[in-house]
Structure 1
Amino acid sequence: MTAYPIELIRASFPALENSGTAFLDNPAGTLVSRVVIEAVAEAMATASSNLGGRFAASQRADAVWRAAHEAAAEFVNATSWQEIVIGPNMTTLAFQMARVIGQTFAPGDEIIVTRMDHEGNVSPWLSMAEAYGLVVKWLPFNKETWRIEPEDLAALLTPRTKFLALNYASNMTGSINDVAALTALARAAGALVWIDAVQLAPHRLPDVQAIGCDFLVCSSYKFFGPHLGVLWGRAALLRDLPPHRVRCQSDDIPDRFCTGTPQTELLAGLTATIDYLAWAGETTGSSGTRRERMAGAYQAFDAYEAGLTRRLVGGLTALPGVRLAGIANPNLFAHRVPTISFTHDRISTHRFADALAAEDINIWSGHNYALEPARHLGLSEEEGVVRIGIAHYNTADEIERALAAIGKLVA
């Protein structure tokens, strides 16, 4: 692997050009590279048409649609592009699929949701349970390991367990769950497993084959792309589930789950996002297939982000009154993404957000839609945490700026 080319990486993001802003709000949404912006603009200029026509612009739109599904399939390591459903965002896809999946269950069947998830992976399933008379069980995360432990899941599984909604990485604590082990337990009990990989995808490359789950969702605007949600589902399940669709919609997959006219320009941006990740792999010394190059990029991202995380965590824990919500031991950083949340024993989280905003540093305060994690940790829902999220285009100088602004307020 070559030395990490931070300046070359940053030069590919127009938002970073001549900007003094430190974009440390990445768990809420990442920046996009120039190639993504150009792809969106080109599609709007040349393929702004509905699909299925006999004329050239429509055929170009068809090609954009197919390429995006193929690129997303590579990203998650699907067996076919037909296993990919693309929608406006992850939460909308979850609500859509909750209406579909819920029809296959009987009143009294059990579903499991966690105390670790973003609300987008909780509310859809609570709504499904209410609509179809299902029993909801809550799976906690361990406050010492900061992860969901297999024994806690095993204690909830019964012959009536039909569905588990599980997050890959927390948008509050940054913890990464052992989703392969948890999935194996749930599927052995006869349950479907839905994985929310939204917070993992900016930092690690998802692999649905290795996980063994039934569904996986992520959001491309969280991994340097346009505002879209991506759903992978097992082909057999997608064929068997009863979709909500208009009568004249094709019954093929993924068409049967694709409602309305697709956002063709954003689909072009999604393909360009995958190409950007492959380019980043080449730039950091990888070769091979597009997925292999993406894997190389993520390996380089992870190593680079780990150094920034060590400095940020070390600087925060040295400040009086600061309490981290997440893994703080550098030896365990393989079990977390670089999303760092903290509280202070006397200073409001929103005062930190205001102070850093005044220094042109973007961070978030509050529960950040991690409502259940906030409750599980006994935090004020209104106050929540101060959240700082690192991405592969951030710099050591930006971390120092953030620490200096936080230290100034603490002092």
Structure 2
Amino acid sequence: MSYDVEALRAHFPSLQSGLAHFDGPGGTQTPREVGEAIARVLTGPLSNRGRVGVSEVNADDAVTAFRAAYADFLGASPRGVVYGRSATQLTYDFSRHLAKGWGGGDEVVVSRLDHDANVSPWVQAAAAAGARVRWIDFDPQTAEVDLGSVTEAITDRTRVVALTAASNLLGTKPPVRRIADAAHAAGALVYVDGVHYSAHQFVDVAELGADFFVCSPYKFLGPHCAVLAAAPELLESLTPDKLEPSTNEVPERFEFGTLPYEIMAGATAAVEVLAALAPGDATERREQLRSSLHAVDRHELRLRQVVEAGLCDLGGEAVLHSRAADRTPTLLVTFPGRRSLDAYHFLAERKVLAPADWFYAHQASLRLALDDSHALRIGLAPYTSDEDVARLLEGLADFVAHSASGGGRAAR
């Protein structure tokens, strides 16, 4: 089966708005099947989990299906799949779980490429434990990870290396496995923020070398929630603070309170939609996902190259800061002498949505040190079409021409 973007778009009621969405890195649009799955479970019959009444079974089945779906999506064990409200919440939780064993002399490594959700929780946990923080840096000119800083940061005192698999701001994909191998050689654990990565790549947690891997289904067609994957044996070695009567079983002991069964059902449906995009001859869901996500990657790469060529045609009027050799279809752009925020509003008036901000990549924004107070982020998604891209590029060309004629405001 070939990848058919128009057939896929028919599954998204929201695309009937006429908006061309380039805001996928902040959260994709949602297919009809996901909404229907949420409504079906939520309207029940539905009770707390059990195996007696049908309403209890429905709740229990929603949890079991969720764990199986994300085990397939990530290449993990269902017993190692933890549900969370958000990646931020999960990272805060697990930084606290792990920090129980830290003390003075221990070190934690974080990255300047990361969304702050994979920085501040670790920095704050380290401060509370008296541990030292070391930094992995990147080159703002190339957007590539500074491998020298990796060598300097990881020592025999390192307890955790927290690293993104792909920058949500620049799209850069660090050499996660190489860094993970260095961390493991030093006896450290590796916590990988895969929120942006999972939206564009087939994920194999073991291949990446991640001890913990977190992602957010709402970045890849699902509802707002998050998932953490780890080996069950590793989870069993952690003792979270929890309510006395709550289960001590893994992974449930990390999930506080009653689970949102309907959201879990929607997240499962998102995996099913992705698996059906271009499954080829595969019959197992894991292999269907491999085929589909490779097809998505090819589709998005082709469109990324079209966008990059269009930006190049604008000459020096648009500067592309996403320059790493290995990166996602996410492009950070500024406009010398113009405000990116104005470009955002200009495009929005033409029903093209490409927001301008720093998108919680706080350290990366400081490291880039750009003159503009915002930067335009163009994100491609599985449902992005050639027509969407044409509208984007036409809008950007009009913005440059309009502001050059005095219709825009200078950057400050």
TM exceeding 0.5: yes
Q: Distance in 2 between matches of 1:220 and 1:257?
A: 19
Alignment correspondent of 2:270? 273
Alignment correspondent of 1:399? 389
Alignment correspondent of 2:115? 118
Given candidates 280, 292, 306, the residue that maps to 2:301 is: 306
Alignment correspondent of 1:127? 124
Gaps of 5+ in 1: none
1:293 partnered with 2:291: no
Alignment correspondent of 1:137? 134
TM-score of the superposition, structure 1-length normalised?
Answer: 0.94
CA contact (8 A) 1:281 1:287 kept: no
Quote how far apart the aligned CAs of 1:202 are. 1.2
Letter aligned with residue 373 of structure 2? E
Given candidates 320, 338, 341, the residue that maps to 1:347 is: 338
- Identity, in percent, stands at 34
Quote how far apart the aligned CAs of 1:96 are. 1.0
Alignment correspondent of 2:35? 37
CA contact (8 A) 1:150 1:181 kept: no
Letter aligned with residue 322 of structure 2? G
Quote how far apart the aligned CAs of 1:363 are. 1.3
Letter aligned with residue 30 of structure 1? T
Quote how far apart the aligned CAs of 1:277 are. 1.1
Letter aligned with residue 33 of structure 1? P
* Residues 231-265 of structure 1, C-alpha deviations (whole Å, 9 max, x = no match): 01222221111212111111110011010010100
What is the SS of the residue equivalent to 1:46?
A: coil
Alignment correspondent of 2:198? 201
Given candidates 171, 175, 180, the residue that maps to 1:178 is: 175
Q: Distance in 1 between matches of 2:220 and 2:144?
A: 23
* Residues 166-211 of structure 1, C-alpha deviations (whole Å, 9 max, x = no match): 0000111111112111101111111110000100111101101111
CA contact (8 A) 1:286 1:292 kept: no
Letter aligned with residue 396 of structure 2? I
Gaps of 5+ in 2: 402-412
Alignment correspondent of 1:261? 258
CA contact (8 A) 1:106 1:133 kept: yes
Alignment correspondent of 1:235? 232
TM-score of the superposition, structure 2-length normalised?
Answer: 0.94
1:96 partnered with 2:96: no
What is the SS of the residue equivalent to 1:201?
A: helix
Alignment correspondent of 2:319? 323
What is the SS of the residue equivalent to 1:295?
A: helix
* Residues 331-388 of structure 1, C-alpha deviations (whole Å, 9 max, x = no match): x4xx1111111111111111011001101111111111111111111135x8231001
What is the SS of the residue equivalent to 2:197?
A: coil
CA contact (8 A) 2:170 2:330 kept: yes
Q: How many residues align?
A: 400
Quote how far apart the aligned CAs of 1:318 are. 2.3
Quote how far apart the aligned CAs of 1:149 are. 4.2
* Residues 110-132 of structure 1, C-alpha deviations (whole Å, 9 max, x = no match): 11111100011111111101211
Given candidates 42, 53, 63, the residue that maps to 1:55 is: 53
1:390 partnered with 2:385: no
CA contact (8 A) 2:278 2:292 kept: yes
